[in-house]
Structure 1
């Protein structure tokens, strides 16, 4: 997981809105490095109580016919 993804995950755990997270990421990293849709996806995983690693492990088990979110 990259630093930006970890930063977004930490902010999502503190119940920040995706718009607030996008503003903070753009300010902190000074590059347009993560899209709003990626922030929404990470926030949804955090709210569902899952991590990016568990999602990745589950999709690897499903094989080539995995679900696309």
Structure 2
């Protein structure tokens, strides 16, 4: 289902000449989404280390990814 949504986003972006790059952020713990995004051509651009606090002792990174249209 996620890949269908991404395909629609890219089809829309390709019709808009001002859009050259699609970016997203994903929790570092969301491995299934990361695999999907990589399979769709996204590349990791950078990480925000310990961006999200889950509880007193647990943080997760925010992975920023992109793909040129």
**Fold conserved between structures, TM > 0.5:** no
Which has the larger share of helix? 1
Which has the larger share of strand? 2
Query: Which of 1 and 2 has higher RCO (CA within 8 Å, sep 6+)?
Result: 2
TM-score (structure 2 length as normaliser): 0.33
TM-score (structure 1 length as normaliser): 0.33
Structure label with greater radius of gyration: 2
